[in-house]
Amino acid sequence: MTEDLPYSQACENNKAPILEKLKAIFITPGKVLEIGTLTGQHAVHFAQAMPHLQWQPSDHPEAAHLCRLRLEQAGLPNILPVVELDVSAPNWPVDTFQWAFSANTAHIMSWSEVEQMFRGIGERLPKDGAFCLYGPFNNQGEYSSDSNRRFDQSLRSQAAHMGIRDLVDLSALAESAGMTLAENHPMPANNRLLVFRRSSS
């Protein structure tokens, strides 16, 4: 059954190390909004391992269909029906959640969409919640590896709006949305897991 499902090798490779970190962050019962569910591999793996959570998958209206069959086949009671979420839309279909998670989206979105994602999460994130963002990131304009440099060049050759984002810019964006970069975890394959929390002020 699974051979016909949309599949990402990157998701398969990174789901275990990401889960190890998320288990220490998503420790209390609550709803997790996943932005950019894509194939649904993360949603199934994480929801199965953390049954105390309600996992809310979402994706852009043009891509939301990609995860539906996998999520239906998984049949997990704590995975909610996928919703169509355009981060640039003024109204989101999900208004309340305890946690937010997104993997490998910031370098695909336009910068304006990244701004809208942070703003939308910042408006809804409770004071004891967290937003976890996974992917490759630069630091003060510097690439973390030659492979990330090549990946960034590949992204920009495909579309001018894409590219690896910088930690400095994301931190400033988080501050403007009422959040702070609280944790910065190194991950395999030159990726990182950034954890943003509500600013104390």
CATH superfamily of 2-198: Vaccinia Virus protein VP39 (3.40.50.150)
Q: What mean pLDDT do residues 174-188 have?
A: 97
Question: Angle at Cα 22 formed by Cα 17 and Cα 25, nearest 5°?
Answer: 145
* pLDDT at site 43: 98
Over residues 100-137, the pLDDT tens digits come to 999 999 999 999 999 999 999 999 999 999 999 999 99
Tokens 């490759």 correspond to 136
- Distance, in Å, from the CA atom of 180 to the CA atom of 132, rounded to the nearest integer, reads 12
pLDDT at 3 over 80: no
DSSP secondary structure letters along 18-78? HHHHHTTTS-SSEEEEEE--TTSHHHHHHHHH-TTEEEEEEE-TTTGGGGHHHHHHH--TT
Which sequence spans correspond to the domains of the chain?
2-198
Give how far the C-alpha of residue 171 lies from the chain's centroid of Cα atoms, to the nearest Å.
16
Q: pLDDT band for 1, please (50, 70, 90 cuts).
A: very low
Q: pLDDT band for 20, please (50, 70, 90 cuts).
A: very high
Q: How far is CA 94 from CA 59, 80, 81, 115, 163, in A?
A: 12, 11, 12, 18, 27
Tokens 């029906």 correspond to 81
Over residues 39-90, the pLDDT tens digits come to 999 999 999 999 999 999 999 999 999 999 999 999 999 999 999 999 999 9
